[in-house]
Structure 1
Amino acid sequence: PRVWWAPGGLLGLLPLHTAGFHSAPDDEPERRTVMDRVVSSYTPTIRALRHARRDRPPVTERSRSLIVAMPSTPGLSPLHHAGEEAERIRSFLPGPLPLTGTGSPPGGNAQPRNTPTTARVLAALPQCAITHFACHAASDGTDPSQSRLLLHDHATTPLTVAALAKIDLDRAQLAYLSACGTADPGNLLLLDEAIHLAGAFQLAGFSHVIGTLWPINDRPAADIAELFYTRLAAHTPGGTIAPSHSAEALHEAIRTMRDRYPSMPSLWAGFLHSGA
């Protein structure tokens, strides 16, 4: 069965979808956890859920996908497994457009065409049904609309929540935000507003968004991403993956990681599905 959470106040900071007692043996018939009872999703508001459920054209072999990976980000620590994550998921996605080059320093005149910049990402998003980001992210505690994904030119032209509102995403279906705290509102005074990156992608037009509640380790993040797309493909055998099964696919991926690392929920409990 499915459950949609629309938490208010401090509950919005908690991984309600993974609550329970995970130390029980795998063969226990009735484990006392949410994720062993239901498939969970989140929504900022009931209206946003209705918006996410509107009809969209199916993903076909002619559809496009955008993969943005930042193994090296100017001024920030490297993400050693971001490039690996991009390669591991590429075969699952229709018409993948990879933006994974590290490029020249910001402002340089010789950036390769695959350098992940804000302008290139915003230009590609309207053409793509599926978008996957493997990068750093930052929540803005004073102005949540300025929470951002950190691309090559983040110091001068950040990809913010506010920037997403300006583009047409009629083809958008799935956004996977493999970055730190993309579902973290970042301000205790604005918890009920759901102004964070995952919510922004959903409100901007994506029916399904995968986000995170806290900083994540990029090595298990790559494992979870591959498990997610593997399970998503399993739900649509013989054809192109269907984003409509995203909640179930993430649920199965997180349960697999939970069974591998039951005593380390920090590695897997923060991943959540938002949307239809």
Structure 2
Amino acid sequence: MGRDHATHHQRTRTRPQTKAPLSNLAVPNCSFHVHAANPFQTKADYSGKEPCLEDLYICSYTPTLLALIRSRQLMKKHVPPSFVAIGQGQPGGGKGKALLAVDSELKLVHKLIPATANRTTISGDAARRAGALEALQGNTWVHLACHGKQDSVQPYDSHFVMKDEHLMLLNIMERNVPHAEFAFLSACHTAVGDEETPDEVIHLTAGLQFSGFKSVVGTLWEVDDAVAKHVVKAFYENMFKDLKDGGAMDCTKAAWALDRATQAVKTQVPLEQRMVFIHIGV
């Protein structure tokens, strides 16, 4: 499986259980993803591997520091939560292979979202471009499970595969999404940038952040939908496990929840399918 390169500013935060103070680190113009740095050195007493970065820090990225600042400023607004899960596992017409785990992933997500949120699911024949655009515009939280395609030549033509027409990045960025908060992009290649133009990062994940989503989970390479659902399940369980009745859904927990999820599924999900997911934004 080829690993495409993406370029982002990187932020790391120490885990809450460590004694070190909470810290942030921005690394500009770097195509090496620090969250994927795993231990290769054995301890001196051969009792196991030395701790690696993912054992000590929670990693988050941002395409530009300005995008991160803007996302934080927009967090001051609060609106009632609404959640839409959009899935297209049978695009047909030569648009890609069938994604057999999409429907079960959508059901799982619906079950894990707090009942206090207005929950909607769009799938099958109903998962078309116009309906998906309307859902993105009308909801604060979004989960997308489908094929994703990055266009390195025409980045704004990068798209999610729907039943009829492609849902292109340009379509999304032209819409006004004033209340958008969080998006989970369970699709391939949604956070793949261009090494040659690191300061002009345009991909699906960054595009959603630029459009108004404050916090986004995207992917660096191909996703195996059969195992991705384990990460998705663990993510939403951690995202909402401490949410009390009437409590507010908080998208600023996303980086932490993704970190906890990838730790929780180590025995179920291969390393490359745990590292494929990254967090961008607040």
What TM-score, normalized by structure 2, do the two folds share? 0.82
CA distance in 2, matches of 1:225, 1:44: 23
Q: Say whether 1:147 aligns with 2:158.
A: yes
- Answer yes or no: is the 8 Å Cα contact 1:66–1:98 preserved in 2: yes
Q: Letter of the aligned partner of 1:174 in structure 2?
A: F
Amino acid at match of 2:83: S
8 Å CA contact 2:83–2:142 kept in 1: the answer is: yes
1:97 aligns with 2:104: no
* 1:176 has 2:199 as partner: no
Partner residue of 2:58?
39
Partners of 1:224 and 1:72 lie apart in 2 by 22
Matches within 5 A, 1:42-121: 42-54=61-73, 55-58=75-78, 60=80, 63-74=81-92, 75=94, 76-93=96-113, 94-101=117-124, 103=125, 115-121=126-132
Whether contact under 8 Å (1:228, 1:250) holds in the other structure is yes
Aligned length: 251
Percent identity, please: 25
Work out whether residues 15 and 213 of structure 1, in 8 Å CA contact, stay in contact via their aligned partners in 2: no
Instruction: Tell me how large the CA RMSD over aligned residues is.
Output: 2.2
Distance (Å, rounded) in 1 between the aligned partners of 2:40 and 2:226: 22
Q: CA offsets, 1:19-64, max 9 Å, x none?
A: 1217979xx799421111111110011100001112344464xx32
- 2:252 maps to which residue? 244
Distance in 2 of aligned mates of 1:45 and 1:117: 31
TM-score under structure 1 length normalisation: 0.83
- Aligned with 1:247: secondary structure? helix
AA aligned to 1:40 is C
CA deviations on 1:85-126 (whole Å, 9 max, x unpaired) are: 10001023321121112x2xxxxxxxxxxx111111111212
C-alpha distance in structure 1 between counterparts of 2:213 and 2:42, whole Å: 36
Gaps of 5+ in 1: 104-114
Q: Give the residue type in structure 2 aligned to 1:253.
A: A
Contact 2:41 2:49 in 1 (8 A): no
TM superposition shift of 1:253: 0.3
Is 2:39 the partner of 1:21? Answer: yes
CA distance in 1, matches of 2:89, 2:177: 27
CA contact 1:247–1:273 (8 Å) conserved in 2: yes
